[in-house]
Amino acid sequence: MATIKTIGILTSGGDAPGMNAAIRAVTRSAIYNGFKVKGIYRGYKGLITDEIVDFKTQNVSNIIQQGGTILKTARCQEFTTPEGRKIAYENMRKHEIDALVVIGGDGSLTGARIFAEEFDVPIVGLPGTIDNDLYGTDHTIGYDTALNTIMWCVDRIRDTATSHERLFFIEVMGRNAGFLAINGAIATGAEAAIIPEISTHEEQLDQLIENGFRKSKNSSIVLVAESPRTGGAMALADRVKEKYPKYDTRVTILGHLQRGGSPTAQDRILASRLGAAAIDALIEGQRNVMIGDDDEKIVYVPFSKAIHKEKPVDPELVETLRRLSI
């Protein structure tokens, strides 16, 4: 710890509501503990292009309520190469940065793990992704806000679905994880959720239609996680139109709408707790770990586990949705 005097902070990958709250917490907790802070703009790309500035307390004033990230974010193909990472390390040394806090999802933490191993850099990660797909933490920063955005949107689509007696397939984000879809479906009273963790054979779609369009139901909402495993909302809707032409089927893809907006109280609190804990971890000599939230307790999760271990969807959620959709 005697060698750590300056901490760099960056956000990488897709933006998520609450990232600014995390930036604020890391910056202020670091300054409180006597460290200097450097803000790195545009993620790993900024490390390579030397977009690094001093961060003071005032740099993070009045940002806790803002969505997105004041540090910006960018994909960086060059950082995936040894040559690019070497330039990034040289810029770190130039600015006398001794440790990094990386806020992002699995791709960002994968980059952090490789970088840390190559150059023996202490790095602590924060789980910043709306997908909630990182192992070792109950919730990721941005997930709760995205879930509330989905709920807000589906509630309004429900009005049209009911008025016109339609079957709506609503595609939500999540990549290969179905947390937004399954919990969004429960929160909105949807009839079903198609998630990557469950096979989507034609028989399942048949059962979905039969259960969802009973005589007592004139409209239905189905949430679909965007994933090659599910086929996506458009593909599912096309299959329904072909097999069940009598149904008036529509598709809504919520897209990047889910990433924006002011973070919820839960995301602000989570980001603040994890951000402060990142500095505690560095003080304790931790490195190459993600800060997680396990049953309201702060935990340190090795990058290898956070990235490579699959985070399962609770089967009880699937069963709950099935029971309540009759």
The string of DSSP codes covering 156-219 is HHHHHHHHHT-EEEEEE--TT--HHHHHHHHHHT-SEEE-TTS---HHHHHHHHHHHT-TT-S-
Among the listed residues 122, 71, 70, 64, the one whose alpha carbon sits nearest the alpha carbon of residue 303:
122
Please give the residue that has the higher pLDDT: either 141 or 244.
Answer: 141
* pLDDT tens-place string over residues 304-317: 999 999 999 999 99
**pLDDT of 70:** 98
Q: What angle do CA 284, 287, 288 make, to 5 degrees?
A: 150
Residue of 15, 98, 131, 293 marked catalytic: 131
- pTM assigned to the model: 0.94
On the question of pLDDT at 212 being above 80, the answer is no
Which pair of structure tokens corresponds to residue 187?
Answer: 């929160």
**pLDDT of 36:** 98
131 catalytic residue (yes or no)? yes
Among the listed residues 226, 298, 305, 294, the one whose alpha carbon sits nearest the alpha carbon of residue 259:
226
* pLDDT tens-place string over residues 13-56: 999 999 999 999 999 999 999 999 999 999 999 999 999 999 99
Whole-number Å distance between alpha carbons of 184 and 34:
42
Q: pLDDT class for 1, splitting at 50, 70, 90?
A: very low
| φ/ψ (deg, to 5) at 214 | -70, 170
